[in-house]
Amino acid sequence: MLRVLHSWQWEKNFVPPEVQKKRKHLVNITAVKPNDLTREGDVSRYRTHPVCLVTGDGRTLPDDVKRFEKWNIPHDLYCVNRSLLYFQRPIDHWAAVDVEESVWFTRHASSAVERPDKPIVRHTIGSQTYAFDVYWQMDIDFENDFQRRVMTGNTGYFAVLTAIYMGYEKIVLAGMPLNMEAHWYEDEMEEGPNWNGWCYTQWMDFVIKVPEAANVRSLSGYSAFILGKATEDWLK
């Protein structure tokens, strides 16, 4: 893991539009409206197990994952942004919503997480991006904060929505405490993300307005307070 972490290089390079439009692997344009669960395209084929572990970059990631893995529950692994650096085992899904992150992924994904026989399915929003497999079209005009704010700083929430539409029966969040502590890969004295009030409103609206929210729980933090605590009994 340390070798992979030391290889991390963040580059803010401009990517020309003609490059952004290039797609690789199992490209599938998918239109999804979270308010009515309308599907265009069969995204269920990306699902292997009924349980999905969605991982974020919060400080609690290592402890959350260790606790979850002790339960020995078969699952698909869905990493958000740099949380894939924590794992040295195959990953099923990865999500990001900016071009620079996706370009980094195509350059640095290691053989430990990318299986030759089953490439990682890469998710993002829209089509003006680089090297993704599924391009989700969100109905951002729909007047609900739980949907409208998906593109503004909470990729983990975007991953939860896409996991729902892929048909996962139970979705567990790890490393998404929604607090202001440093990311798991930073020194603990570093300043963490500054979550705005709308972020918490977004998750609460999700619980109130989306029936499938009952199938989503978190392992730690404020997300566990809002969604409910994921436990071994709940999963089994």
List pLDDT tens digits, range 170-208: 999 999 999 988 888 888 788 777 777 777 888 888 888
Domain residue ranges of the chain, discontinuous segments joined by +: 21-235
Q: Token pair 């996962």 is at which residue?
A: 168
Task: Band the pLDDT of 12: cuts 50, 70, 90.
Answer: very low
Residues 70-96: b if buried by 16+ CB within 10 A, e if exposed = eeebebbbbbbbbbbbbbeeebbbbbb
User: pLDDT digits over 41-52, tens only?
Assistant: 678 889 999 999
The alpha carbon of 190 is separated from its chain's Cα centroid by a whole number of angstroms, namely 23
pTM for this prediction: 0.81
Note the pLDDT of residue 108: 66
User: pLDDT digits over 93-148, tens only?
Assistant: 999 876 566 666 766 677 788 878 888 888 887 665 566 777 776 654 444 444 44
Q: Give the tokens for residue 100.
A: 């620079």
Alpha-carbon distances of 31 from 41, 107, 134, rounded to whole Å? 8, 28, 10
Does residue 3 or residue 99 have the better pLDDT? Answer: 99
Q: Token pair 């599924």 is at which residue?
A: 134
Can you tell me the distance from the alpha carbon of 167 to that of 200, in angstroms, rounded to the nearest whole number?
25
Positive/negative CA dihedral, 27, 131, 152, 59: positive
Stated length of the chain: 236
- Average pLDDT score over the chain: 76
Alpha-carbon distances of 10 from 6, 102, 151, 189, rounded to whole Å? 11, 11, 20, 20
Note the pLDDT of residue 109: 72
Can you tell me the distance from the alpha carbon of 213 to that of 204, in angstroms, rounded to the nearest whole number?
10
Q: Are 123 and 136 in contact (CB under 8 A)?
A: yes
Q: Token pair 């640095």 is at which residue?
A: 108
Q: Give the tokens for residue 27.
A: 């490209």
Can you tell me the distance from the alpha carbon of 101 to that of 96, in angstroms, rounded to the nearest whole number?
7
As a CATH number, domain 21-235 is 3.90.1480
Q: Are 77 and 49 in contact (CB under 8 A)?
A: no
